[in-house]
Amino acid sequence: MGLIEQNIQTVPEIRLDEKGIAHRIRIFEDPRSPPMIFFSKRALARYKSRFDVLNQGIAKKSAESFCSMICLLLGRELLMTNRFVGAAYIAHAFTKFRAARSPDADIVENMLQAVRESNQAAIINLFVPLAHEIGHLGRSQALAPAEIHSDTFFDTYRISHEEIRYLIGDLDYASCQEDQNSPLFLPLLKEEAISDWFAVTAVFALVARTSREFQLDQTFGNLVMFPLVAALEEICIKEWRSTKFLQEVLLATQCRFSLLIDSIRANARYLFPRNHSDIDEAISAVENNYQEALGLLWQASIQLRALSREIVHFSDAEVSRYISERTHKDQWLPSTTT
């Protein structure tokens, strides 16, 4: 926290929601008192489960398997509001793999234990979501490099679109910059990009201070996962969206990634001025893996939309039959979540 106070002249109060109701990490800013970060074990476990699904989906290099893993997450969410449809998504997931339930408290405890052992991946997964939220503070936003605050930020849209046009096709991103409901809305995207920058800078310093050995590949790879997890949340763990919305989400993710990778490179070169060639090599590998991940996410989202069109129109009886045909007898649906 000394690092945060040194840069933004205040220490946010970090408060744990003991009841575990909060789904996400939230920030409250009041000029009369220090800002407060409100989170729960559920929020941290939620991020970690999505991180793990994304990581496994990339490792399998199969959009079909990735889609099935996403169905498990989506099914769990829908069990709260529509248990028949939620169970159908979980049943579809079981056609490709099996999973066992891990309580949120266990997931968080495993993360904390790994942090105590100075595991870099665990440190990043625990602190990046918190640091990103602190990055939304007005004082944190003001610290961002001048380039992000200037008109040159508009070039990020154009360059990023050129880089992934092969995947998402043509998109009128200029009109989206003024659409408050779009993930490409200029003030929103700029704020998220600055929060990413703040999180990278803070976590880089933290990892450098707490780890005995700085692992470039692992650190870079885990840092760039944050905007991908956010994209996974927007595309796949919510109600059905249009193809245009999918295009906007992936372009916004690409914009955030391009600025994030610049922040990673700058921080790494500052900390390790004699290792520029190693840094460039690690970043090149991360960029290649990221493009592959983005492609898998796009393909999996298309498959998920096709499946959703089928499932959402099922009657309760059809859902029951769908589940019985796709679920092994030894699988207990209500407890099978990530």
3-state secondary structure of 22: coil
The pair of structure tokens assigned to 334 is: 């209500």
Read off the pLDDT of residues 277-303 as tens digits, 9 standing for 90 and up.
999 999 999 999 999 999 999 999 888
What pLDDT sits at residue 185? 96
Contact 266, 84 (CB under 8 A): no
Residue that wins the pLDDT comparison between 172 and 86: 172
Residue type, 323: I
Read off the pLDDT of residues 301-322 as tens digits, 9 standing for 90 and up.
888 888 888 887 778 788 788 7
**pTM over cut 0.85:** no
What pLDDT sits at residue 99? 63
| Residues across the chain | 338
Read off the pLDDT of residues 241-258 as tens digits, 9 standing for 90 and up.
688 999 999 999 999 999
Q: How far does CA 98 lie from the centroid of its chain?
A: 23
Report d(CA 120, CA 303) in Å as an integer.
34
Read off the pLDDT of residues 37-70 as tens digits, 9 standing for 90 and up.
666 777 788 888 888 888 888 888 889 888 888 8
